[in-house]
Structure 1
């Protein structure tokens, strides 16, 4: 059985992106990128909302990677080998391999995915993650807290929902990013 892991780069004040939708403040340096590479190696299937999928699909192409550092090219290879499920009622089709579209988020289908998985699953995108939290599906949160406060924007964690968390691991990067990994014990 796989765990469902919510993983994200987050501003210190708890946002995935600022009020203009920018997240350039969270672009990882090589050490942080290496961390994400290692994390993603353990993921077999990624569940995305439409906007997160549209952001992530850049990894399908090598065109822009020619001059990128090896750690960045490695991430692209890792991303391409995983399965992807996109939850969208508006997306007509997908442009990446190993990707399927689901028109609605079905909590029971996600429970089955977890039960049948030989590896862990990830969930990305604030809206779809909030649904997973609401249905008690998220097992762990892996958050990289970036040394910036953006003052508002898209919250990283669902609003109006209390989560009981247990710290499993933590660390610090030279660029000031702090890593925390929590088990989700209860949601109310």
Structure 2
């Protein structure tokens, strides 16, 4: 059975993008990029909301990668090797391999996907992840806390959800980014505050 893992970069004040929709403050250096490469290697299927998919599909194209460091090119290979499910009611089609569209988020379908999976799954996009958190589907949470305050924007974690967590791992990177890895405690049940 695979675990569903929510993993994202976040500002220290809890946002994954600022009020203008920018996340340029979270671009990883080589050390952090290598961490993400290793993390993503364990993922067999990535679940994306439409906006996250549109951001990530750049990894399908080789043109811009030719002058990038090896760690960046490696991430593209890892990303391409995973299956992708995009949740969107408006997206007409997909432009990447190993990708399919689901028109709506069905919690029971995701539960079955986890049960049948021999590898872990990831969920990307704050809105989609919030649905998964609310339905008790997220097993682990990986956050890279960037040393910046952005003052507002899109919250990295869902509002109105209370879950008890268990710290599994942590690390400090040379650029000041802090990695924290938590499991959702089994006794936790999503609830609104």
Alignment of 1:160-179 (within 5 A): 160-179=160-179
Q: 1:160: how far off?
A: 1.1
Q: Indicate the SS of the match to 1:128.
A: helix
TM-score (norm 1): 0.99
TM-score (norm 2): 0.97
Aligned partner of 1:44 in structure 2 is 44
Aligned partner of 1:14 in structure 2 is 14
Unaligned stretches of 5+ in structure 2? none
2-side partners of 1:125 and 1:76: how far apart? Answer: 19
Aligned partner of 1:92 in structure 2 is 92
Paired positions, count: 188
Q: 1:168: how far off?
A: 0.4
Root-mean-square deviation (CA), in Å?
0.4
2-side partners of 1:104 and 1:27: how far apart? Answer: 30
Q: Indicate the SS of the match to 1:131.
A: helix
Q: Indicate the SS of the match to 2:31.
A: helix
Unaligned stretches of 5+ in structure 1? none
Alignment of 1:1-188 (within 5 A): 1-185=1-185, 186=188, 187-188=190-191
1-side partners of 2:131 and 2:43: how far apart? Answer: 20
